[in-house]
Amino acid sequence: MQISPLMRGFAAEVREADLGCIDNRASAKLCELFRQFAVLVLPGQENTTRDQLRNFASLFGTPSECGDITNIGEGGNIMPPESLDARYTRGNSLWHMDMLVLDKPPLAAMLLARELPAKGSGSTQFADLQQAWRSLPAHRRLALRRLRAAHTMETIRHKMGITDSDELRSEYSPGEHPLVCVDPHSGQPTLFFSAHTSHIVGTSPQASAAVLDELLETVTQDQHVYTHEWRLGDLLLWSNRRAMHRVLPYAYKSERRRLWRMEVVGDKRPSSVRPWWVSLWRRQRI
């Protein structure tokens, strides 16, 4: 495999990776790379099957079922823009992490490009929540580490412009996690919020909105964002505990876009960052 960094410490391209025959050495190398980089780009995977994609996902944990992220309906035609499925799909244009409403959100996610719109449209952006966290002043990091955030599906659906009460209603209960968590891949602190985040627990609506707006502005600054312009056969793997993502606009009504999608299922709840003196005390006791 040939490794080329795309964004220092955050994104890298892995060429000559044959998902049809990953041996133990290649598996170990890919897992090592995923501890170093939150986003891995594997080009040239247009012949990869769903079973091979599932086997690849299993290197990093328990894979989900393989689904589609697409504007194409069951009949093979582009979905009417006013349909509920189309409106849900357009929610991917919001900066988000996947399914923070769950007690154990996905550890990682991946997309494989099968059909793409015109060159230069429908790109996907990733924001480095870990690097954004490090960029904050020390006193701000200390204050944020004490906070917890609540997440609901209704919140992101409302941001998508859905107002009907039946369409807003979700089968998922609200979730709650520390605002700053430990990234299980790198072991480092990272911000943990999304378009699903409704509020900061224990604060007024005004104060909560101010914190979330401030953090979103910080993490989406250019120096924290990698933009991927898709090519057919590109496979992207990213950490759902460190990277926020969104799709950029494309001609949704006229251009077909279809990507296979799979998750690595979460096996543990996101853990908060312990103060330095807790770790020191534990080492001394041992």
Side-chain half-sphere exposure of 179, counting CA atoms within 13 A: 22
The whole-number pLDDT of residue 54 equals 96
Could you report the per-residue pLDDT of 153-177, keeping only the tens digit for each? 999 999 988 888 888 888 899 999 9
- Helices and strands, counts by H and E, the chain: 9, 16
3-state SS, residue 113? strand
CATH code assigned to 2-279: 3.60.130.10
Q: Please, what sign has the CA dihedral across residues 111, 113, 117, 118? A: positive
Could you report the per-residue pLDDT of 203-231, keeping only the tens digit for each? 999 999 999 999 999 999 999 999 999 99
Query: 46-80 burial, b for 16+ CB within 10 Å, e for fewer?
Result: eebeeebbeebbebbbebbebeebbbbeeeeebbe
Question: Cα–Cα distance between 8 and 33 in angstroms, integer?
Answer: 13
Amino acid at 18: D
Question: Cα–Cα distance between 186 and 262 in angstroms, integer?
Answer: 21
DSSP structural state of residue 91: G
The whole-number pLDDT of residue 280 equals 39
Amino acid at 181: C
Residues whose CB is less than 8 angstroms from the CB of residue 74 and which lie 6 or more positions away in sequence, other chains included: none
3-state SS, residue 234? coil
Question: Cα–Cα distance between 79 and 87 in angstroms, integer?
Answer: 10
The whole-number pLDDT of residue 3 equals 96
Model-level pTM?
Answer: 0.93
Token pair for 86: 């189309």
The whole-number pLDDT of residue 245 equals 98
The whole-number pLDDT of residue 281 equals 39
The whole-number pLDDT of residue 286 equals 44
Residues of the chain with pLDDT under 70: 120, 275-286
